[in-house]
Amino acid sequence: MRRLVLCIVLLLLLALPKGVLAGNQRIPRRVLWMEAGANLRLLSTQEGVRAVLDRARENGFDTVVPEAKNAWGYVTYPSQIAPFIGTSPVPRPWPPEYPPPREWFPQDYDLLAVVTREAHARGMKVHAAINAFGEALTSAQVGLLYDRPELQAVHYLATRSVLAPDGSSFPLAGVDRSPGRNELTLLTPSGSVVQGGVYTIMTVKGWRVSEVKQGTGPISGPVGGFTLVGHGDAGKWLQEHFRPWSVVRLGPVEHKFIPSTRYGLIAFANPVHPLVRLRMLALITEVVTRYPVDGIILDRIRFPDITADFSEISRRSFEDYLGRKVRNWPEDIFRYEPTELWIVRRPGPLYREWLAWRAIVIRRFVEAAVSIVHHVRPGVSVAAYVGAWYPHYWNEGVNWASPAYLPPFPWASPGWQNGAIADLLDYLLVGLYYREVTVGEAFLRRVPLWRSVSGGALLAREVVDGTPVLGGVFLDIYRDDPVRARAALQTAFRRTRGLMVFDLVYLNLYDWWSLLGR
């Protein structure tokens, strides 16, 4: 029934006369992103919104970006499709702190409407952001995917277990990273754990235990060995099954398929699933028909990473794309092989076709979204928000370049080009999220030159072939260095068609409005 209702809603909206509520298309120059969760207290009253917009206008911003739908599926307006943020049970435990919004957020308050009205009253534009495929917050276990688990992405993963002398085992959650709740991880000599928490720390040299203790970060892997770091149940297992001089072994590669709600902080819906796509298109239509926004920014129009999606729906879709069955699923896409201390992912014979197919899936969604927006309101801009690391963006399954651009990488193919999206968009927001500002700094740090604010901007302009690019700066990267933050802002502004500042919350937390200038 829900599927039928969504279909009918979408068809009715598409039947509206072309040009209903038409606005003025314009490429912004200075953009301020206002993430819903971080700024919710501040934006929960008209007075708060007015104060923010007055200060933004005084500092040269011509466009603000309120989130119509946040990263885990809540919307900032009364919707017939997605849950209202005022019903969210998710508190914010760090500054600016607040209790669960359902305990205090005004239930009759339309944040998106207030921001749009007040921004227009000040001569500013509103480009509403819609997080497309982020649909749950795993730390709080809330979101659509907990009610509709069949819609979530499925990850193809592998691990190895640590084997104790008594024959018991515990799976590794990863290498050279901090363990999560009840997880066990392995640190090589180049790995470390820096954040707080109480862990069981077991140092191993020559495949024998040299020390077992409890402690907190920082923890590093030893030269000539490795360290096992266990939290909770994993730490108890280490203490119960190992003593100094105990032999430690690693088991064989173990493959597994897990849902997105058990994978990362933000759980993703499957971009291939027809109902997921239809629901997002209906939500986009709802926003542009009910609110006089000047633009729509598509965020998280991607797969969670290269390990997804391996559901049966995606398998059938990929086989339709190939025109034949996949003989060895999923090993023909990629396989996992053991290394001395962990595993490595090896591409299979269909790997390049898999990357191309995923990019084409995203292009088709963007095509549909752009078509709807421009049909209903031809003057509204449509943009996408992507990461600047294009040489690695195959991981997210998005080709944000121009169709004319063929990357000089072995994974690229003509099929990958067919999934390009830059030509569909009025402009592109590119997150230049690098500590290094200049290509010279990148060179001295011995990292690729594009891994700098300046180099990333130049690469983005090259690959999009004419589509306007706005450079995004993540202020929290420079939290201890306002001079570097100012240089990043200036560089992004000068190297691209404009600047996007992420986020309002950091301008207030660090009192950095003075960095902006005009």
- pLDDT tens-digit readout, 252-300: 999 999 999 999 899 999 999 999 999 999 999 999 999 999 999 999 9
Residue-range domain boundaries for the chain: 2-9+31-153+258-425, 161-251
Residue 461: Cβ within 10 Å count: 19
Q: Distance between CA 324 and CA 329 in Å, rounded?
A: 13
Mean pLDDT of all residues in 373-399: 96
Whether the Cβ atoms of residue 308 and residue 260 lie closer than 8 Å to each other: yes
pLDDT band at 382 (very low <50, low <70, confident <90, very high): very high
Mean pLDDT of all residues in 410-423: 96
Tell me the pLDDT tens digit for each residue of 310-349: 999 999 999 999 999 999 999 999 999 999 999 999 999 9
Q: What was the pLDDT predicted at 454?
A: 98
Q: Does pLDDT of 216 surpass 90?
A: no
pLDDT band at 1 (very low <50, low <70, confident <90, very high): very low
Contacts 24+ apart (CB under 8 A), 443-449: 448/391
What's the pTM value of the predicted model, to 2 decimals?
0.92
Q: Distance between CA 111 and CA 199 in Å, rounded?
A: 42
pLDDT band at 190 (very low <50, low <70, confident <90, very high): confident
Q: Does pLDDT of 50 surpass 60?
A: yes
> SS3 of 354, please?
helix
Q: Does pLDDT of 214 surpass 80?
A: yes
> SS3 of 251, please?
coil
User: Peptide bond before 330: cis, by omega within 30 degrees of 0?
Assistant: yes
Q: Read off the tokens for 453.
A: 């604010």
Q: What was the pLDDT predicted at 7?
A: 52
Residue 223: Cβ within 10 Å count: 7
Q: Read off the tokens for 214.
A: 């409890």
| Residue 155 DSSP symbol | E
Q: What was the pLDDT predicted at 4?
A: 45
Q: What was the pLDDT predicted at 24?
A: 41
Q: Read off the tokens for 90.
A: 């998710």
pLDDT band at 61 (very low <50, low <70, confident <90, very high): very high
Q: Does pLDDT of 517 surpass 60?
A: yes
Mean pLDDT of all residues in 169-185: 92
CATH 3.20.20.80 fits 2-9+31-153+258-425, yes or no: yes
Tell me the pLDDT tens digit for each residue of 12-46: 444 444 443 443 457 999 999 999 999 999 999 99
List, edge to edge, every strand of the sheet that includes 266-268: 142-143, 134-137, 266-268
Q: What was the pLDDT predicted at 19?
A: 40
Tell me the pLDDT tens digit for each residue of 442-489: 999 999 999 999 999 999 999 999 999 999 999 999 999 999 999 999
Whether the Cβ atoms of residue 125 and residue 280 lie closer than 8 Å to each other: no
